[in-house]
Amino acid sequence: MKPKLVVGNWKMNKSFDDAQDLILDIQNALKDKRLQTEVILCPPLVYMELLTDIAEEEDSQFYAGAQNCSEHGAGAYTGEVSAEMLASMGVEFCIVGHSERRKYFGEDNTIVAQKVKILLDNDVVPIVCCGELLEERQQGIHAQVVEKQISEALFGLKPSDFERVIIAYEPVWAIGTGETATPAQAQEMHAFIRGLIEKKYGTEMAYNTYILYGGSCNPKNAVDLFMQSDVDGGLIGGASLKANDFVAIIEAGETVIKDN
């Protein structure tokens, strides 16, 4: 079994002091552990230098990630942050295509594909989100929706680029609602996604690609979700804002690895 991967997406939360406290609390809770689970923290962009300074310390147990970047390389795009800027600060990962970016900022699969490419060009690993709305699941078209998102955003990549991509499946109806896909529902969709990758890039690529579950994962359900054979970890929202909860999810990853 591959090591699990746990990504904390703070979204638009925390003051500077609170952000610093949370980063340090997570760092202190993890510093004496010999983790197999890999951890990425994605706070708001304004805290990126604070994060990277700590992430680059010798005893750090996490990597620095961002929540978004521009699809443009540089220029007159007021308020935007480029992939090159992220890379220059030591940011190694970046979330793109999150359902909230799609819903509130009109990002479509074409824009997501552009962001993926520009991140890869700057040696930043994209964490690419996909997932269906509640009505799409109710209509029974959730698989088609996710296939279209992945195909249009990622399947234009050559294998040497695709192998650097992480995918996060986030059923939109389970984000911030307290609802969670059952372990069986999560496994079904993760297996479907892995099957798409296998058809496009082969069995080895499909196995090696990390597919995370995002959608109200918490300390109570993390072990059951992570035990599923095609769930490689979690993209954690609300539970990443409390150090104890986030560390408990990381420990769930450790438990599953040890038991298998």
Q: What are phi and psi of 223, to 5 degrees?
A: -60, -45
* Token output for 130: 């996909």
Q: Which helix (H) or strand (E) holds 233?
A: strand 233-236
d(CA 210, CA 76): 35
CA-based Rg of the chain, rounded to a whole angstrom?
17
* HSE, side-chain direction, 13 A CA sphere, residue 207: 5
Handedness of CA 75, 79, 83, 87 (dihedral sign): positive
* Sequence-distant (≥ 6) Cβ neighbours of residue 139 within 8 angstroms: none
Nearest to 136 by CA among 96, 174, 184: 174
Reply yes or no on whether 98 is catalytic: yes
142 is catalytic: no
Describe the crossing of helices 48-55 and 16-30 by its angle, rounded to 10 degrees: 20
Q: 170 with 98: CB under 8 angstroms?
A: yes
Spatial separation of the C-alpha atoms in residues 23 and 48, rounded to whole Å = 11
Which residue has tokens 């998102």?
A: 149
Q: Catalytic one among 38, 71, 98, 100?
A: 98
**Which of 250, 240, 248 minimizes the C-alpha distance to 19?**
240
Which of the following is catalytic: 100, 132, 136, 170?
170
Residues serving a catalytic function are 98, 170
